[in-house]
Chain A
Amino acid sequence: MITREYRFPLNSSTVPAGEPVLTVSDVGLRFGGVQALDGVGLTVRQGQIHAVIGPNGAGKSSLLNCVSGLYRPQRGTIRLTRADGAVDLVGRRPHQIARLGLARSFQNIELFKHLTVLENLMLGRHHRMSHALLPALAWFGPARRQEIEHRALVEEVIDLLELQVVRHQPVGALSYGYAKRVELGRALCMQPAVLLLDEPMAGMNAEEKESLARYVLDVNELAGVSVVLIEHDMDVVMDISHTVTVLDFGRLIADGPPEQVRTDPAVINAYLGEAAR
């Protein structure tokens, strides 16, 4: 086996392994007459892969959007544990939440399609870079130095996710599998405290799923990043996650280790079906 020493830690959370890093409690979200989330709570522990599953319309993506600040829940708290104590994410704007260490991917690929893979990944470094105008116009000096400095970390992510061959390609021209991997990479370049992945394997065939699952495991095991994973493929979920939360119609119906959730009657009834028993 080839192992490689990485210079930069990709995980920025200082919470000890197994302790809660992200705590969602009693979150309620309503769109007009639709109660998208109704008193949902879950605890993501440092170093785990935490899967969120449920039928279509169960509120999985809504929950993720609440965490990353795209939606604002009417009720509840979402706390991120940091070295300087817990901060409530509710009411903060998406870019502020991103700067606190929440990185995410989207269900439909949301890359910057006219930019190259490298530029997309460098944008993952955006919130840790200086954006002063005059150095940018002058280029030589701080701006150039900063580009080179951050490029070193980006190259490690390229290495981890094996994106070398597409480095300079515009992402609009990439295959679906590569594009999904670039999105994962962009989130990783942020050196997140928690990584939120919204259906990273949707629309993939078995081999592509397997390959992406491997990358998610590498991110979790090698880089030590806590992952919240929304996914429909039960085999993947049961295989790689440490904890599974099941939603149905905006309510939490089960929460626990995969083997326990798999046999939960409420989950079988709402989502898995009798055949899974």
Chain B
Amino acid sequence: MAATAAGVFHTSYASELRLRHTSAERLRLVLVVAGLLTLPWLVNPYWLGIVNTIGIAAIGAVGLNILVGFTGQISLGQGGFLAVGAFTSGLLVQRAGLPVPLAMAAAVLVTAAVGAFFGLPALRLKGLYLAIATIASQEIIIFVVRRWGWLTGGQGFLDVDRLTLFGWRVPRTSFEFVWYWIIAGLAVLAVVTARNLFRTALGRSFMAVRDHDIAASAIGVDLTRTKLMAFAVSSGYVGLAGALTAHYTQTVTWERFTIDVSIQYLAMIIVGGLGSVAGAVYGAAFIMLLPPLLAELADALRTRVPLLADQLPAVQAAAFGLVIVLFLLFEPRGLDRIWRRVKDYVRFWPFRY
């Protein structure tokens, strides 16, 4: 069990319901906010681009964790739902001429609806059986975007214009900089709303379904409604991540949304910590940073260990697998749990416990 700060006494339920109780926790929040506000001036555009992809992945991982980590419904359909968000938003801008913010909002709603529809098997299936059913939804969605001529010209491919906001076309020179603020803003919004969700009745009912569905129904939780709601809410976040991908990368192609992506996202929430909002963010950062950091390492060791640089893609894939295995073996509750242990250690120092 995680340690709780001593000497914190509440005199009202309202104060106990706050997310932060100690000055150390508040200080950390200030530092995180300050870091987010200064980051774009601290790193070069290449790394800022990586930060942007982390932000998008974090939104998608928070969404997936709502479904898998908090509601216990295993899903391998993440890639498909990302595709729905990306194609919806891309098509609405390119074909219907909708402004980007409006198209992205529509993508969130459409993906939520599609997610709820593909959540229907969850009413009958659990665990591995549900995982297989969600693979079906993944494949169906990718099949549709690849083959539906009217939608994507039968190529599963769509070019998206460079971002225009309220009539202002974002210049190429400050592209990553502008996108950073959009993505960081939305990622913060995603994290805050997800944290809020799980301190309310609705979020608690998701966790009740995960822990014990029969007991949940015996206390009045409507399993049908709750499971479909979890699929819809989760897919809404994923749809946002998909829409951001479309406008940020300016190309939407089905190859970006295959089952490999679904597995990559599952890896994020396993590495980060199932059932933890912060964990989803840590996991997204970890998985997205792994390939560029390995590339840096290979570059640095080019003269001494040329194999590393020559076989970089293979090394990256192997490292990805190794990391997941190591986490499952040594800390199945992920980075979030490791961070908690670090905090406990500092809090108790110099005592062991």
A63 at the interface (CB under 8 A from B): no
Which one, B198-206, B250-258, B296-304, is touching chain A? B198-206
Contact assessment for B207 and A115 in the assembled complex, using a CB-CB cutoff below 8 Å: yes
B14 at the interface (CB under 8 A from A): yes
Q: Which residues of A contact B216 (CB under 8 A)?
A: 112, 123
Q: Which of A152, A170, A186 contacts B219 (CB under 8 A)?
A: A186
Contact assessment for A148 and B220 in the assembled complex, using a CB-CB cutoff below 8 Å: no
CA distance A94 to B214 in the complex (A): 9
Contact assessment for A173 and B205 in the assembled complex, using a CB-CB cutoff below 8 Å: no
Contact assessment for B221 and A95 in the assembled complex, using a CB-CB cutoff below 8 Å: yes
B9 at the interface (CB under 8 A from A): no
- Chain B, 198-243, CB within 8 A of any chain A CB: 199-205, 207-208, 210-212, 214-223, 229, 233
Q: Which residues of A contact B222 (CB under 8 A)?
A: 95
Min CB distance, B64 to chain A, in Å?
17
Contact assessment for B215 and A110 in the assembled complex, using a CB-CB cutoff below 8 Å: yes
Chain B residue at minimum C-beta to C-beta distance from A168 = B4
Contact assessment for B221 and A126 in the assembled complex, using a CB-CB cutoff below 8 Å: yes
- Chain A, 86-138, CB within 8 A of any chain B CB: 93-95, 98-99, 103-104, 106, 110-115, 119, 122-127, 129-133, 135-138
Q: Mark B1-25, 1 if CB is under 8 A from A, else 0.
A: 1001000000001100100000000
Give the size range of B's interface with the partner: 20 to 34
Q: Which of A103, A127, A137, A152 contacts B196 (CB under 8 A)?
A: A137
Contact assessment for B219 and A173 in the assembled complex, using a CB-CB cutoff below 8 Å: no
Q: How many residues of A are counted as interface, with CB atoms below 8 angstroms from the partner's CB atoms?
A: 48
Q: Mark A135-155, 1 if CB is under 8 A from B, else 0.
A: 111110001101110111000
Q: Which of A106, A129, A139 contacts B199 (CB under 8 A)?
A: A139
Q: How many A-B residue pairs have CB under 8 A?
A: 119
Contact assessment for A113 and B13 in the assembled complex, using a CB-CB cutoff below 8 Å: no
- Chain A, 29-75, CB within 8 A of any chain B CB: 68, 70
A115-B204, A133-B202 given; A147·B212 CB < 8 A: no
B193 at the interface (CB under 8 A from A): yes
Q: Which residues of A contact B193 (CB under 8 A)?
A: 137-138
- Chain B, 141-168, CB within 8 A of any chain A CB: none
Contact assessment for B223 and A95 in the assembled complex, using a CB-CB cutoff below 8 Å: yes
Contact assessment for A95 and B217 in the assembled complex, using a CB-CB cutoff below 8 Å: yes
Contact assessment for A190 and B201 in the assembled complex, using a CB-CB cutoff below 8 Å: no
Q: Which residues of A contact B217 (CB under 8 A)?
A: 93-95, 98
Q: Which residues of B contact A144 (CB under 8 A)?
A: 14, 17
Contact assessment for B218 and A94 in the assembled complex, using a CB-CB cutoff below 8 Å: yes
Min CB distance, A255 to chain B, in Å?
26
A164 at the interface (CB under 8 A from B): no
Chain B residue at minimum C-beta to C-beta distance from A127 = B220
Contact assessment for B220 and A122 in the assembled complex, using a CB-CB cutoff below 8 Å: no
CA distance A133 to B108 in the complex (A): 14
B60 at the interface (CB under 8 A from A): no
Contact assessment for B197 and A99 in the assembled complex, using a CB-CB cutoff below 8 Å: no
Q: List 17 A-B contacts (CB under 8 A).
A: A70-B218, A93-B217, A112-B211, A123-B208, A126-B201, A126-B219, A126-B220, A132-B202, A133-B233, A136-B196, A137-B197, A138-B193, A138-B196, A139-B199, A186-B219, A187-B219, A190-B219
- Chain B residues in contact with chain A, CB under 8 A? 1, 4, 13-14, 17, 193, 196-197, 199-205, 207-208, 210-212, 214-223, 229, 233, 275
10 shortest A-B CB distances, which residue pairs?
A127-B220, A139-B196, A98-B220, A112-B211, A129-B201, A137-B193, A110-B215, A94-B217, A136-B200, A131-B202
